[in-house]
Amino acid sequence: MKKTARAHTNIALIKYWGKANQALKTPLMSSLSMTLDAFYTDTTFEHDSSLTEDTFILNGQKQTPEESKRVFNYIHLLQEKFGFNDHFTIKSTNHVPTSAGLASSASAFAALATSFAASYGLDLSRRELSKLARLGSGSATRSIYGGFVEWQKGIDDASSYAVPIDENPDLDLSLLALEVDTKQKKISSTKGMKLAQTSPFYQPWLARNKQEIAELKQAIKEKDFTKIGKLSELSANEMHACNLTANEPFTYFEPETIKAIKLVENLRQQGIECYYTIDAGPNVKILCTLRNRKEIISAVQKSLTNVKIVVASFGPGVTLL
């Protein structure tokens, strides 16, 4: 009746930026991510016929009905799917600093889907779990698996799920999450994704998706850090280029984002190989190898003011605790 799951968040290297179906959260493109060890969510799901209401406690704080709405709607959807209707209590602890620009919704909905299924004794494959997670948040689809994960876009609810590419990559790859200062109000991912589709470059980008996924999978197979870095940086920039050319144009970049981008460019010119990726926010994540990590961290601290850096590497898939 009461089960706890832990799921790690992930960062997309080939980006997901557009929904084919708003309700099913099926995407317009396949994406490929790296699950991160440093950031995770623990979620306990308990259901009981004796409970008189639904409760959502996040980081020890009972959430208001308004704050709980998304999570409740999600659980009600899953309950309907499997024919359950009793009340439940969700206790969730996020080990994802929201300010680091990493979506906590990925680990949150992966942990929630898994604890929900276990609590009801549903014997679901990880593939089925990834579909359930997707109904909560697109990026959660990928957090079911560890290491490198592909979210195959599919054509409907049944065919849109994650597959593991390499759950335990034997690859020297670190991610430095740079938390930069910002006071700017953010355009939500949902809104940004819709706007981006008005860009003249959106369809050309989509047309490249299959090739980009194939190239990154090949680079992962070959343990080719340079190729992985270049493809990741390109995918992120394609996403931000679509935002910049949308009608109307917008950008998640802040002044500090440009500083971080130029820093990475400068480091590369000095022979210190590293690449950046940027999601729907101003924060920059740097991909590097262990050899250069210390030097890059020191350069970041010198160039950017008030920056916090979190170091991450490959994290595992979802587990029951």
Give CA angle at 12 (207, 250), nearest 5°: 70
Candidate ranges 14-22, 133-141, 247-255, 289-297; the one touching a second copy (CB under 8 A): 247-255
Q: Does residue 244 touch a second copy according to CB under 8 A?
A: yes
Q: What track of x and - describes contact with a second copy for positions 62 through 91 (by CB under 8 A)?
A: ------------------------------
Q: What amino acid is encoded at 30 in this protein?
A: S
Q: Which of 262, 294 has the CB closer to a second copy?
A: 262
Under DSSP, is residue 38 helix (H, G, I), strand (E, B) or coil?
strand
Q: Does residue 247 touch a second copy according to CB under 8 A?
A: yes
Q: From the CB of 185, what's the least distance to a second copy, in Å?
A: 10
Pick out residues in 213-232 that bind a second copy (CB under 8 A): 230
Q: What amino acid is encoded at 9 in this protein?
A: T
Q: Does residue 314 touch a second copy according to CB under 8 A?
A: no
Q: Which of 242, 296 has the CB closer to a second copy?
A: 242
What does the alpha-carbon distance between residue 142 and residue 156 come to, in Å, rounded to a whole number? Answer: 17
Q: Does residue 55 touch a second copy according to CB under 8 A?
A: no
Q: Does residue 208 touch a second copy according to CB under 8 A?
A: yes
235 CA to centre of own chain? 14
Q: Does residue 272 touch a second copy according to CB under 8 A?
A: no
What does the alpha-carbon distance between residue 236 and residue 33 come to, in Å, rounded to a whole number? Answer: 12
Whether 276 contacts 264, CB under 8 Å: yes
Q: Does residue 179 touch a second copy according to CB under 8 A?
A: no
Give phi and psi for 98, each to the nearest 5: -60, -30
Whether 159 contacts 131, CB under 8 Å: no
Q: Which of 104, 232 has the CB closer to a second copy?
A: 232
**Interface residue list for a second copy (CB under 8 A):** 184, 200-201, 203-205, 208, 230, 233-234, 237-238, 240-242, 244-245, 247-251, 253-259, 261-262, 265, 268
